[in-house]
Each structure stands twice: as structure tokens, then as C-alpha cells.
Structure 1
């Protein structure tokens, strides 16, 4: 079971680490896009969200307070869904559909991250992690 959880953590974290690389290496272009979506302090927001992604994803991947890392990913995903993929403001049907897909993806990933939080904060034997959970749910 430990190996299955580790493989799941690797697969889950890979998406966020790849996104973090984009945030940190292409921050100017991403900030321009974020600004066009109305994100305040776009350049700073892109850089901070990149750091949030790195810390959250590495926490889950390595099993260093993976419960906290899961919550950090939720803290990235929910605002990103609302600010960057606000499909309800699109008038073009194709753009609206694309934004809705991205919104739903982010919300689904946030739900998965919340389940990971509960799993890590509740389970005593996490297996193949560096630390135990920071939080405890009975």
C-alpha cells in the first residue's frame, strides 16, 4: 500500500511542479495574462503562486507535512479557478466552454487535495514519508 500511495503522490505532484516551473521561468508572460484577467499585482501574484506550488507539491511528493502541502495546493487552486477561469464572464461560447473546463479541473483538483489533506491528517501510518502530519483529525 505504501508504494501505491507514493506513486499517487508522485503523479499528483508532477502537475503542480510543472506548473510551478512555468510560473517561475515565464513569469512575465504569465503576469501579462493574469493582469488581463484582472488579477491584482499580477507579477507578484504569479511569483508567489509559483512558490506556493513548489512548496505544496514538494511537501506532498516528499511527505514532509504532506497535510499542510495539500492545503497549500487548495489555497492555490480555488482562487485560480475563480480569478483565472471565470467562465461566467465569457460571451464567446467556445471561450466559455474552455474556461469552464479549466475551472472544473481546478475545483476537482482542489477536492482531491482536500481528500489528501484528510488522509494525511487522519492516518497514523502514512508510510514512505519523511515526517508525519502537522495536523491531526480524529
Structure 2
């Protein structure tokens, strides 16, 4: 089970570590896009969300307070879902569908991250190959 848990962590954080690089390398354009969605200080928020993804992703990946790392990812995902993918505001059917898909993806991944919190906070001793135990529990 230890190896399966490690593989799951690797697969789970791949999207965050990959996406965070774009938040740093394309902060200007992503920040402008965030501002067009109504996010204040778009560039700063883009960089801050990149930091959340890197820190949370690495914590889950390496098993360093993986429960806290998963909560950091939820702190990125849920606001992003509501601020950046507000499909209910779209009038174009194609744009509405794209935003709804992105919204649901973020909400669903948040659910998975919360499962990580529960598992690592309650059963970390059974999910080895971590550097530390859970912060909560």
C-alpha cells in the first residue's frame, strides 16, 4: 500500500506542480486575465496562487505534513473555481460549458484533496513513505 499511496500522491500533484510553473513564467498575462475576471491585483494573486500550488503540492508529494499541504491546495482550488470559472455569468454556450468543466474540475479535485487530509490526519501510519507524520490528527 505504501507504494500505491506514493504513486497516488505523485499523480495527484502533477497538475499543481506543472500549472504553478505557468503562474511564475506567465504571471503578466495570467494576471491580466485574472483581472478581467474581477480578481484584484491579478499579477500578485497569480504569483501567490503559484506559491500555494508549489508548497502544497510538494508537501503532499514528499509527505511533509501532507494533510496541511492538501489543505493549501484546497485554499487555491475553491476560490479559483468561484472567481475564475464562474460559468453562471457566461452567456456564450461554448464559454459556459468550458467554464463549467473547469469549475467542476476544481471542485472535484478539492474533494480529493480533502480525502487526503482525512486519510493522512487519521491513518498516516498506514500510508508510509512520507517524511513526516500529519500535522493534524
Same fold by TM-score greater than 0.5: yes
Deviation at residue 41 of structure 1 after TM alignment:
1.0
TM-score (norm: length of structure 2) = 0.98
Equivalent-residue separation in structure 2 for 1:124 and 1:31 (angstroms): 37
What is residue 129 of structure 1 aligned with on the other side?
130
Q: Is it true that 1:7 corresponds to 2:4 in the alignment?
A: no
Would you say how many aligned residue pairs link Structure 1 and Structure 2?
A: 136
Could you report, residue by residue, the CA deviation over 1:19-72 in whole angstroms, capped at 9, with x for unpaired residues? 110101110010011011011111110000000000000000000000000000
Q: Is it true that 1:58 corresponds to 2:58 in the alignment?
A: yes
2:103 match: secondary structure: helix
Could you report, residue by residue, the CA deviation over 1:67-113 in whole angstroms, capped at 9, with x for unpaired residues? 00000000000000000000000000110011000000000000000
Unaligned runs of 5+ in 2: none
TM-score (norm: length of structure 1) = 0.97
The 5 A counterparts of 1:1-138 are: 1-125=1-125, 126-136=127-137
1:67 match: secondary structure: helix
Equivalent-residue separation in structure 2 for 1:62 and 1:84 (angstroms): 29
1:58 match: secondary structure: helix
Unaligned runs of 5+ in 1: none
Q: Which of structure 1's runs of 4+ aligned residues deviate more than 4 A?
A: none
Equivalent-residue separation in structure 2 for 1:124 and 1:117 (angstroms): 10
